[in-house]
Amino acid sequence: MPKIKLAPSILSADFSKVNDEIKQVEKYSDLIHIDIMDGIFVPPTTVDSDFVKKIKTKVPLDVHLMVHEPSDSYLKGFIDAGASSITIHEEACKDPAKQLSFIKKNDIGASISIKPKTPLDKIRKYLDMVDMVLIMTVEPGWAGQKFIQSTMEKVRELRQLKPNLDIEVDGGINPYTVRTAYDEGANVFVAGNAIFGKKDRVAAIKEILGSLK
């Protein structure tokens, strides 16, 4: 099993003081997870590459695109803004291999995500192209949703298929569900509300990580 990584999601942080928010958690973070929504693939819209450019941290930026058919120039915007890895959605791209190849060509991590109802078979052919797979444990688009237990079947199957792959889970991750996801084979944990929704962010992180001991 690869190393455990914690990826606080700034979707639940205060965007108006995002660098201060990140400062509070960066000592305990392996990645900073940034959700980008276009209002097409998912109804809400969030931030863009100009916003990502303003983020000041040494923690790698894990950019999750909930975006319909991101073009090369759109992807390049996030690469130039400092993304360490970019995740695209299988459901949002006609030919995900095109976007994954472009990301890889630019020497950053390439990742693919699937929604809770999308079967793992849909991404099987891309597994040798990616550095990480993101299994959504809620429907993409909104923070604060309840963890969908049935998504764990995909995590378990994927871990058997790819023992050394980073498997990320995103949605409803808290001190209780994080253990479930870890036991099934996930090693990268996105947590938004469970961290930024608390007054003491460090205590919240320690509680999540404590569940994995």
Single out the catalytic residue among 50, 170, 183, 200: 170
Task: Specify the amino acid at residue 190.
Answer: V
Residues, the chain, total? 213
What 3-state DSSP class applies to 166?
strand
Strand, helix or coil for residue 132? strand
Whether 170 is catalytic is yes
- Given the residues 35, 38, 62, 166, select the one marked as catalytic: 35
Q: Residue 55 in contact with residue 31, Cβ under 8 Å?
A: no
107 is an active site residue: no
Rounded Cα–Cα distance for residues 61 and 113 (Å): 16
CB 148 within 8 A of CB 171: yes
- Location of structure tokens 């965007």: 15
The owner of tokens 């999750």 is 64
167 in Cβ contact with 127 (< 8 Å): no
Rounded distance, CA 168 to CA 136, Å? 8
Query: Are 165 and 133 a contacting pair, CB within 8 Å?
Result: yes
CB distance 65 to 40 below 8 Å: no
- Annotated catalytic residues are 35, 170
